A and B are shown apart, each in its own frame.
Chain A
Amino acid sequence: MNKKKILIVDDEEKFTKYVKLNLEFKGKYEVRVENKGAHGLEAAKTFKPDLILLDVMMPDMDGSEVAAQLKEEESCKNIPVVFLTAIVTEQEINEKGSNIGGHPFIAKPINLENLISSIEQNIVNNSKLK
């Protein structure tokens, strides 16, 4: 069975390290990590992930900018992006329907079970759109 490729772009190195370990531990995922927003686009082009977990707030380039560049890139525009954000309120969830700029989001912190569930759901949703 082919492992699903997950690209994580987040400036929190320890967080990305443990997420990579935990996901790969499940045996179903191949995970690549980038800790700089600017490197996200290049990694997406070369790694060709099935899903990108993208941090909203990063010091060099924020997540929405990376997402916009991905959309511009022909080879990346169909890759589903799920935002990771620490700053979200109950009301934002109610108002935005779990969407930021047309992309779904995951509110930090999230446990592994919910993270995997969200990854799977968004990959399935994206494949339906194709």
Chain B
Amino acid sequence: MINARNIIPYTVIVIILAVTGYFFRLNHNAFEKAMVDQAQTQLMITALSEAQSIERHSYNTEISTVDTSGLVKHIDDLERVQVLIIDDDAKIKHSHYMNYIGENLLTLLKGKISNPEWLKLNSMVQKIRNGEQGTAIIDFFSDDVNPHIVKTLLAFAPIHHGNTRASIIVAMEYDVVAEPVNKNARDNIVFGGFVLSMFFVLAASVFHQQKKRSDELQNLYSTLENEHIKLKTTQAQLIQAEKMGIVGKLSSGVAHEVKNPLMIIIQGIEYLKEKIKTKDKDEDISMALKDIEEAVGRADNVVRGLLDFASVSKLVATPENINLILDKSLLLIKNLLDKNNIKITKNYEENIPYITIDKNKIQQVFLNIILNSVDAMPGGGDIMIRTYTDQRQDNEKWVTVQIEDTGTGIPEGAAEKIFEPFFTTKHSKGGHGLGLPMVKNIIEMHGGKISISNRTSVNGTVVIISFKA
């Protein structure tokens, strides 16, 4: 829709341009003006002299003129100069062209003049009626094969024609508009100009509207895109939660059905251990029972891991200081870190923004990551923990935890699989391959991000975990 308020500024501009152009066209430059003034003076003198001559010699007219210095010159170019005598009713009493005599000047010129020029002609005739003398510049349409506009200087002065009053008009063509125009060209130009102006106004308005609309659409698109991303994220989290809910039920069932038989096996082993104590001690039987016991322990570990993995279906989130959660996690495994000669270096950002997280689950995440680092440094090593905030797209603040170690790093070809359930490089150490998938689930349930990679140029792994502040 075109808003009228938006057309106004463009209309004003167009009118200013049109008026300026119009006056520029009519107001000649200084040189041309001087030339026209001179011609007007010449014609005026000619008209007055002709009038006196007519009065003296009746209709025996000889056209002559004087220059500005007063020297009378003969004008022989009758093609360019005409002398008319009209009465008060603008009826032509005398003309070089005999067929004009008796015609009304206004009627004769009506079709040869544009509307604005017609007004000027009328004004001149009115002055003639009032017995005034003067000059006018009027554009006439020529009747040639190639129609064009003829700019004509007219000088008029009252005379006595017999017993009646009349006026003499001396007209001289002094300029021809270069480009050919048809008879109604002037009107057409004006009308065309108006149409063009209106078109410009309309086009400008439409362009303005289109631009505004385009900007609005762009903004709308950006908003929709952001909303779409948010919805997709929420949807993904909901699907994940639902999936984890199903996995949770499934793993509960599995845990119940697997752990009870494991319990029977363990109690059976206990019974057998007691039994063989009382009889001849058989080392092989003792060893077999020990192996069975260890195997049960591994199976139990897997089921426990599955339960932990599946427990990420709901969050109890509250605003937390991530630095404190890291410290609590480190405190829980302090003995283990000391025992394994692990040195911790902390570089926490002071006054780090609180983030809304499930502190127990995030603690589980940190424990898992740090224990992985401990496993990767059997002879001891360093763990560097850094926290910081950074601004990402749309000026969103993110809180990031970076945990680096000096361990063996991720084995070649394992990087793409580390988040896959049951993928583990620590079978011999009882790894069940559910730790990092659980970590990833927990982070994603919080709308966070995690990346794990080898450190560049030095040994070790770097884990980067980020949450929206």
Contact = CB atoms under 8 A, between A and B. Distances in A.
B308 A89 contact: yes
B361 A91 contact: yes
Nearest to B309: A89
Given A15-B260, A108-B259, A109-B262, A22 B308 contact: no
B255 A87 contact: yes
B184 interface: no
Interface stretch (B187-195, B263-271, B383-391, B445-453): B263-271
Query: Main SS of the interface on chain B?
Result: helix
A92 B307 CA distance: 10
B65 to A, nearest CB: 117
B441 to A, nearest CB: 13
Contacts of B262: 108-109
Interface string B366-401: 000000000000000000000000000000000000
Contacts of A108: 259-260, 262-263
A42 interface: no
Contact of A87 (B252, B268, B300): B252
A117 to B, nearest CB: 13
A15 B264 contact: yes
B307 A88 contact: yes
Contacts of A95: 360
A111 interface: yes
A105 B63 CA distance: 135
Interface string B304-335: 10011001000000000000000000000000
Interface string A85-126: 011111110110000000000001111100000000000000
Contact of B260 (A12, A91, A92): A12
Contacts, number: 70
Contact of A86 (B255, B360, B363): B255
Task: Categorize the interface residue count of chain A.
Answer: 20 to 34
B254 to A, nearest CB: 10
A109 B266 contact: yes
A90 B364 contact: yes
A89 B259 contact: no
Among B256, B260, B263, B304, max chain A CB count under 10 A is at: B263
Nearest to A14: B264
Nearest to A18: B267
Contacts of B265: 109
A19 interface: yes
Contacts of A68: none
A89 B360 contact: no
Contacts of B258: 86
A87 B303 CA distance: 9
Contact of B304 (A15, A22, A90): A90
B283 interface: no
B270 A18 contact: yes
Interface string B261-289: 01111111011001000000000000000
B66 interface: no
B360 A111 contact: no
Contacts of B256: 57, 86-87
Interface string A49-69: 000000001000000000000
B276 to A, nearest CB: 13
B150 interface: no
A22 B274 contact: yes
B296 interface: yes
Nearest to B278: A25
A92 B274 CA distance: 33
A90 B305 CA distance: 9
Q: Which of A21, A88, A111 has the most CB of B within 10 A?
A: A111
Contact of B311 (A57, A86, A92, A111): A92
A91 B308 contact: yes
Nearest to B310: A89
A57 to B, nearest CB: 6
B264 A18 contact: yes
A92 B256 CA distance: 16
Given A18-B264, A18-B267, A91 B364 contact: yes
Given A18-B270, A109-B300, A90 B308 contact: yes
Nearest to B267: A18
Given A25-B274, A108-B259, A91 B264 contact: no
A16 B364 CA distance: 34
Contacts of B271: 18, 21-22, 25
Interface string A15-31: 10011011001000000
Contacts of B267: 15, 18-19, 22, 112
Interface of A: 12, 14-15, 18-19, 21-22, 25, 57, 86-92, 94-95, 108-112
14 contacts: A15-B263, A18-B270, A21-B271, A22-B271, A87-B255, A88-B307, A89-B307, A90-B304, A92-B311, A108-B259, A109-B259, A109-B265, A111-B266, A111-B270
Sorted from nearest, which 5 A-B pairs have the closest CB atoms?
A18-B267, A86-B259, A109-B263, A112-B270, A109-B262
Interface of B: 252, 255-256, 258-260, 262-268, 270-271, 274, 293, 296, 300, 304, 307-308, 311, 360-361, 363-364
Given A14-B264, A18-B270, 20 more contacts: A14-B268, A18-B268, A22-B274, A25-B271, A86-B255, A86-B258, A86-B263, A87-B307, A90-B364, A91-B360, A91-B361, A91-B364, A108-B260, A109-B262, A109-B263, A109-B266, A109-B296, A110-B266, A111-B266, A112-B266
